[in-house]
């Protein structure tokens, strides 16, 4: 059994390898046939081993976000959120997400650059991790309406450990932006 599953993680009790957990995955794409890419990626999530269910939000359009902030001159994104019931360890799940991205032509040349597919592990149950290779929950999820809005659609009672209810975070963002 991996150390990750054998030892307790902050934010939750120790899990056995057989215990399923709900992982939250943000999907985004702004290059190519984005609708088709998100649909194919969702199917690939459902076909991962040790995964029993995938519930995906409707897709929403958003402005590209770069290191300098929102950039309407870049191709817009199509975003969604999937809830994935899995028994994969979080590090294994993240590896599998990177594999799906690569199969869809994802190239990691520029941080926050244009992408054929972006899959971010936003949350893994109630796990909190400050390991730089696996930050959980995602450190910027609470600041992104293109994550919060579709997440609230598929799970209106969701919360981000240490941040609060997704619907409240989304309302706060929308109020701040006026």
Active site residues: 106, 115, 118, 120
Read off the tokens for 75. 């191709």
Q: Within a 10 A sphere around the Cβ of 62, how many other Cβ atoms?
A: 19
E strand or H helix at 46, and its extent? helix 34-46
Q: What is the DSSP string of 48-112?
A: STTEEEEEEPPPEEE--EETTEE-TTSPPEEEEEEEEEE-S-HHHHHHHHHHHHHHTT---SSTT
Helix axes 90-103, 34-46, angle to 10 degrees: 140
Tokens 């294994």: give the residue.
92
Using a 10 angstrom Cβ sphere, with 0-12 exposed, 13-18 middle and 19 or more buried, the burial of residue 20 is middle
């Amino acid at each position: 059994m991996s150390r990750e599953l054998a030892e307790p993680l902050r934010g939750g009790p120790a899990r056995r390898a057989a215990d399923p957990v709900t992982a939250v995955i943000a999907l985004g794409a702004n290059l190519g046939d984005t609708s088709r890419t998100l649909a194919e990626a969702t199917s690939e999530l459902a076909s991962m081993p040790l995964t029993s269910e995938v519930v995906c939000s409707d897709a929403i359009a958003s402005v590209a976000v770069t290191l300098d902030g929102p950039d309407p001159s870049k191709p817009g994104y199509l975003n969604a959120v999937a809830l994935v019931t899995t028994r994969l360890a979080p590090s294994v799940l993240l590896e599998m997400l990177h594999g799906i991205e690569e199969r869809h032509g994802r190239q990691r040349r520029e941080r926050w650059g244009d992408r054929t597919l972006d899959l971010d592990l936003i949350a893994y149950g109630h796990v909190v991790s400050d390991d730089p290779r696996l930050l959980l929950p995602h450190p910027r999820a609470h600041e992104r309406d293109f994550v919060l809005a579709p997440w609230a659609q598929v799970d209106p009672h969701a919360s981000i450990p240490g941040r609060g209810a997704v619907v409240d975070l989304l309302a706060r963002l929308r109020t701040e932006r006026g």
